[in-house]
Structure 1
Amino acid sequence: MGGVTTEQQQRGLVLVVEDERAIADLVRMYLTRDGFGVHVEHDGTAGLAAAQRLRPVACVVDIALPGIAGTELCRRLRGAGDWTPVIFLTARDDEVDRIVGLELGADDYVTKPFSPRELVARVRAVLRRAGGDPGAPPPRTVGAVTLDPLRRLVSVDGAPIHLTSTEFDLLAHLMSRPGRVFTREELLASVWGYASHSGTRTVDVHVAQVRGKLGGAATLIRTVRGVGYACDD
């Protein structure tokens, strides 16, 4: 195979960990077409080592892998303080798989069979969230929580907390308009960038994760029963 192009170097390297070689080859082809460099591993143990060695810009990881499971791979990365965006591939539309993955700090998931174009779009979306916006507004503080959109940092009473890129964007969206109630469908469209038929349970899991990390400041996010969530001023 040829070397990595300049465009691929600019887009960055995506690590794909998938034991079904036909799927891995398809994902590699579409990511490469979109300008990414791609490294593929076929088991979880090798995938974890590659993630630690190569420092990819994003990881696409099957949940069911030989060696160690994709969920364990993600757990070990997060436990080591590595917040590289992770997108899980799951073999069935199993809510348990999705929730466990999201609770471990994954940024998104795609259910097999999937559209390769959709997967590439999801990768680009998590990278946009992780990369920040040079034109971002100044830091904002609500209660004990301060969020800096440009540096993508969050602190509670001055102590930093670690959020995934998706968790950060969810909190930033809620804090952008304190008191405004956002429906789950609005949050899914604005933060994740896809339609509500993808399942609003994703929003609930991420809100729970953010609340857990905010600790005593978790009351900042208010549940509006039957509607969605709001950030209290």
Structure 2
Amino acid sequence: MHKDVLIVEDEPAIRRLLVGALDRTGLTYAEASTAAEALLLAAVQPHPLVALLDLGLPDRDGLEIIPQLVEAGLAVIVLTARDATDEKVAALDLGADDFVTKPFDSAELLARIRSALRRKTGSRADPQRRVFEGGTIDREAHAVTIGGGAVALTPREFDLLWALCEKPGRVLTHRTLLETVWGVAHRDDVDYLRVAIRALRKKVEADPSRPKLIINEPGVGYRLAGSAPRVA
């Protein structure tokens, strides 16, 4: 039987919290307390769509199984400690969709799960035109509109916005964005990214000093506000 969510958590108290939150939504779930169990459940067809993954598993480091879960077709949301910035970055670079910091708010967690589910069940096409909050971006025409008016972006700004639009709601690490937009040689040049984000916000945000569209995840990366890709 299909399950929406795979809970991978070895601490019974936290697992009960996760189960309680999911029970209130009607989402179905399977439970695993080890990495080995998680990989077995991920291999079951039809597999769960989203994995809630604790990194401190008894048999393996949770980071090690992220690529396998992603390859199996699951969106991975990592449950991590408040100050574990390096873990967050590593998890996202390995293919995780998102992270939730412990202690987590149930409402926030459920919102992240629903967002991941929408991404998994949304369009799998590779459209040339995307709609984001307040605007559109057309890759073929190399055009951006905000509120119905054309916005002139530099080629680098356009590529950066497109990269964010491809995975709305998902945190993209500094390294991922740098490799995508500037190339592997600039994967560590975070200052390039910060300057470009600042310039892009001035053109697409109503109030660049209080950005609502391009959201910063301190020490990790950026995400585009939104829950699922939309095609125009």
The answer to whether the aligner puts 1:121 opposite 2:128 as a matched pair is no
Q: 1:116 to 1:73 in 2, by over 3 A?
A: same
**2:33 — aligned with what?**
42
Larger RCO of the pair (alpha carbons < 8 Å, separation 6+) = 2
Q: CA deviation at 1:130?
A: 2.3
Q: Give runs of aligned pairs for residues 51-200 of structure 1, distance below 5 A.
A: 51-53=42-44, 55-78=47-70, 81-133=71-123, 139-140=127-128, 175=139, 177=144, 179=153, 181=157, 191-192=168-169
| Structure 2 Cα separation of the partners of residues 85 and 17 of structure 1 | 13
Secondary structure of the 2:195 match is coil
Deviation of 1:38 after TM superposition, in Å, equals: 1.1
* In 2, Cα distance between equivalents of 1:225 and 1:13: 37
Asked if structure 2 preserves the Cα contact closer than 8 Å seen for 1:103 and 1:209, the reply is no
RMSD across aligned positions (CA): 3.8
Q: Give 1:36 deviation, angstroms.
A: 0.7
CA drift of 1:225 comes to 4.5
Give the TM-score taking structure 1 as reference length. 0.60
Compared CA separation, residues 95 and 30, structure 1 to 2 (3 A): same
Once the 2 structures are TM-superposed, how far is the Cα of residue 211 of structure 1 from its aligned partner? Answer: 5.5
Answer yes or no: is the 8 Å Cα contact 2:8–2:32 preserved in 1: yes
Aligned amino acid, residue 42 of structure 1: S
Matched with 2:222 is none
Whichever structure has more helix as a proportion of its residues is 1
**Distance between the aligned counterparts of 2:179 and 2:59, measured in 1?**
27
The TM-score with structure 2 as length reference comes to 0.60
CA-CA distance at 1:209 after TM superposition: 6.2
Give me the identity figure in percent. Answer: 31
Count matched residues. 172
- Would you say 1:18 and 2:9 are equivalent positions? yes
Q: Which amino acid letter does the alignment assign opposite residue 31 of structure 1? A: L
Cα distance between partner residues in 1 of 2:65 and 2:194: 35
Q: Which of structure 1's runs of 4+ aligned residues deviate more than 4 A?
A: 172-176, 208-212
Q: For residue 83 of structure 1, report the CA deviation from its aligned partner.
A: 3.4
Which runs of 5 or more structure 1 residues have no equivalent in the other structure? 141-147, 150-171, 194-199
SS in 1 for 2:100: strand
